[in-house]
Amino acid sequence: MSWNKLSYRIIFCLLLAFMLSIPCAFADSNDITAGKGMTNSIVLTLGKADVFINGNKKTLEAPPVLDGDYTLVPFRFLGEALGAKVDWYGEDQSVTLTLNGKTIALSINSKAASVSGNKVDLDAPAKIINGFTMVPLRFVGEALNQKIDWDAVTKRITIQSRTDESKKAGAALLWYDQFQLAAYRNSIPSNLSSSLKAVLNSAAKYEKEKPPAVTDKSVLISGASPHDFVSMAIYYWPDSSKTDGKPYIRKDGQINPEKDDPSKYDADRMSRMITAVDQLSLAYILTGKETYASAASKYLRAWFLDDSTKMNPHMNYAQGIPGKSDGTPTGIIDGYRLISVVDSVHILESSESWTTADDQGMKAWFSDYLKWMQTSKPGQVEGMAANNHGVWYDAQTAAYAWFVGQNDLAKLIVEEAKKKRIDSQIEPDGTMPLELQRTKSLHYTVFNLEAFISLARVGEQVGNNLWDYTSTDGRSLKRAILFALPYVTGIKQWELKDIEGTKPDPLFARFIAMASKQDESINVLKATNYILGDAKGVERIATSSFSPNNN
């Protein structure tokens, strides 16, 4: 059932109830535990005690009920039906549910919750009604990777398990907080209404446009296929001392507009594709309207899946230098925003427009791309880079490994980054010398922090904590963030060279908000106001998703 068929009154905050007085929420003695990952479907009806687990009828002592704007259903029943471990802690009035290594914790009469230690804000607090503890179903269900549908006509709730490997990565996002976005679908805060309007306006524009494809270029370099991604090293310019200007020479920080020549290069096309997919998928999750998901799916198919237009999964011709090389290892960084595509695919998994074949095709593409990154000569060279290129290489490979289900590899990449990246790039005072040497020193300090934080976000998903790592002499990601913080909140003026100016990349606002979930002393509101100013749109919503009380 598509989101646009779901009741806005029910969809986001169906609740589960945990029975306090007896160990099971059923009136009969039948065993309800289906076993870990074995339950395929659970069907309940509002106001009725009958429940069907994989087609088998059971009877609840506490039927689903409507309480104000929220529907409540039995929590212990759901946990046991899914094969989860359910615990009640009477002393502090809290409950936990653990499944597949993920733990959800809620407290009675509190809107604060957590998923595997990560804080989440709920629209409604857990509460006790008629002796049962009530907690949010959609929050709990989606946190445990369950698909939940509501039929407004029959008042029926259907919970379906996603147990196949292709869906396991879909329980979380990296550059957004998925639980808060789901809450916004039900009720967007008034201070974000103009940002939602901006997102929807952008999405409407992208709906009307033809999806770009890597095959749109008309001029090919020797040996390249139309399906090969081609880009130019952005800081290279014609050599005025040469008749033909070749080979081009480097001018650090000075961007050559030739890089956007659509007849030759694909970087701008790929950027437009990623932005369109991001805006459309965000519009979908915020509104539930299938038209946005359908449009986003078309963009993804054109770039990654359709035989006539899809990009080959490599970057052999990225950031070439005219007169010198057709491609360079540093060109791999052109793909760093593909991490956003991973998020978009996860968002689209609940859509009717996004098929199983689409999902499998995307994972196959990223599996091939990941293999190329790790085994090709350009990939291996880029993986050894000592600056932001190396960190973005790790952030990408870890994210793609997690996306395709290679969690052990993702976890290893995060673990190795502790010494390979933090120990070697971050000083005990939080500075990153290789980035400070650049002509855009603040820009690259922020850019490298975005890479580190992206990597830490992957670590959250695979159980490897990069946030709290500290070397024996005090080097850490948190220290680097604290060094930069005064300069991205306007408290201090950046005094080192930066030919681009001293206002951080707007994308960095959401990364500061991500970091604030690990350190409550970070003033997200101050950073957001300084970085974004009066700007409305996706960055404002993304930032708020991580820090809803500070925007």
Q: Is the pLDDT of residue 32 over 70?
A: no
Q: Is the pLDDT of residue 143 over 90?
A: no
Architecture per CATH, domain 3-163, reads as: 2-Layer Sandwich (3.30)
Give the least confident one: 207-221, 313-327, 471-485, 487-501: 487-501
366-388 residues labelled b (16+ CB within 10 A) or e (exposed): bbebbebbbebebbeebbebebb
Which of the residue ranges 82-91, 150-159, 248-257 has the most confident prediction, judged by mean pLDDT? 248-257
What's the confidence (pLDDT) of residue 549? Answer: 66
How many beta carbons lie within 10 A of that of residue 196, not counting itself?
Answer: 21
What's the confidence (pLDDT) of residue 23? Answer: 35
| CA distance readout (Å), 499 to 232, 259, 415 | 21, 19, 35
The residue ranges of every structural domain in the chain are 3-163, 164-384, 397-551
Structure tokens, 14: 């169906």
What's the confidence (pLDDT) of residue 343? Answer: 97
Q: Which of 39, 32, 63 is nearest to 49 (CA)?
A: 63
Q: Is the pLDDT of residue 165 over 60?
A: no
Identify the residue with better confidence: 292 or 50: 292
Q: Is the pLDDT of residue 513 over 80?
A: yes
Per-residue confidence band for 57, with pLDDT thresholds at 50, 70 and 90 = confident
d(CA 345, CA 293): 10
CATH dotted code for 397-551: 1.50.10.100
**DSSP at 18:** E
Domains 3-163 and 397-551 share a fold: no
Per-residue confidence band for 30, with pLDDT thresholds at 50, 70 and 90 = very low
Percent of the chain clearing pLDDT 70 (strictly above): 86
Structure tokens, 102: 């993920």
Identify the residue with better confidence: 77 or 15: 77
Structure tokens, 309: 């237009």
d(CA 401, CA 390): 16
What's the confidence (pLDDT) of residue 77? Answer: 75
Per-residue confidence band for 470, with pLDDT thresholds at 50, 70 and 90 = very high
Q: Kindly report, residue by residue over 352-411, the tens digit of the pLDDT.
A: 999 999 999 999 999 999 999 999 999 999 999 999 999 999 999 999 999 999 999 999
The C-alpha angle with vertex 331 and arms to 327 and 334, in degrees rounded to 5, equals: 140
Per-residue confidence band for 104, with pLDDT thresholds at 50, 70 and 90 = confident
Segment 224-252 shows an average pLDDT of 97
Q: Do the strands 317-320 and 230-232 form a parallel or antiparallel pair, or are they unpaired?
A: parallel
Give the least confident one: 178-187, 210-219, 230-239, 428-437: 178-187
d(CA 257, CA 237): 10
Q: Is the pLDDT of residue 168 over 60?
A: no
Q: Kindly report, residue by residue over 252-270, the tens digit of the pLDDT.
A: 999 999 999 999 999 999 9
Per-residue confidence band for 73, with pLDDT thresholds at 50, 70 and 90 = confident
Q: Which of 392, 394, 298, 305 is nearest to 348 (CA)?
A: 298
Asked whether the beta carbons of 283 and 289 are under 8 A apart, the reply is yes
Asked whether the beta carbons of 40 and 161 are under 8 A apart, the reply is yes
- From the candidate CATH numbers 3.30.70.2170, 3.90.190.20, 1.50.10.100, 1.10.645.10, the one assigned to the domain spanning 164-384: 1.50.10.100
Structure tokens, 76: 């212990």
User: Strands across the sheet with 70-74, in order?
Assistant: 65-67, 70-74, 15-19, 132-136, 127-129
Work out the mean pLDDT of the chain and round it to a whole number: 86
d(CA 103, CA 122): 16
- Kindly state the helix (H) or strand (E) to which residue 149 belongs, with its residue range: strand 146-151
What's the confidence (pLDDT) of residue 431? Answer: 98
Distance of CA 287 to the CA centre of its chain: 18
| CA distance readout (Å), 482 to 365, 406, 429, 523, 545 | 37, 32, 9, 11, 21
Identify the residue with better confidence: 528 or 121: 528
What's the confidence (pLDDT) of residue 167? Answer: 34
Q: Which residue reads 């990952």 in tokens?
A: 37
What's the confidence (pLDDT) of residue 27? Answer: 42
Per-residue confidence band for 183, with pLDDT thresholds at 50, 70 and 90 = confident
Identify the residue with better confidence: 354 or 1: 354
What's the confidence (pLDDT) of residue 181? Answer: 86
What's the confidence (pLDDT) of residue 49? Answer: 83
Virtual CA dihedral for 415, 420, 421, 427, nearest 10 degrees?
Answer: 120
Give the least confident one: 487-491, 518-522, 539-543: 518-522
Identify the residue with better confidence: 16 or 273: 273
Q: Kindly report, residue by residue over 275-287, the tens digit of the pLDDT.
A: 999 999 999 999 9
What one-character-per-residue DSSP string does 404-443 give?
TT-HHHHHHHHHHHIIIIIIHH--TTS--HHHHTSTBHHH
Q: Which of 132, 336, 94, 62 is nearest to 104 (CA)?
A: 94
What's the confidence (pLDDT) of residue 544? Answer: 92
What's the confidence (pLDDT) of residue 550? Answer: 61
What's the confidence (pLDDT) of residue 301? Answer: 99
156-190 residues labelled b (16+ CB within 10 A) or e (exposed): bbbbebbeeeebebbbbbbbbbbbbbbbbbbebee
d(CA 216, CA 126): 53
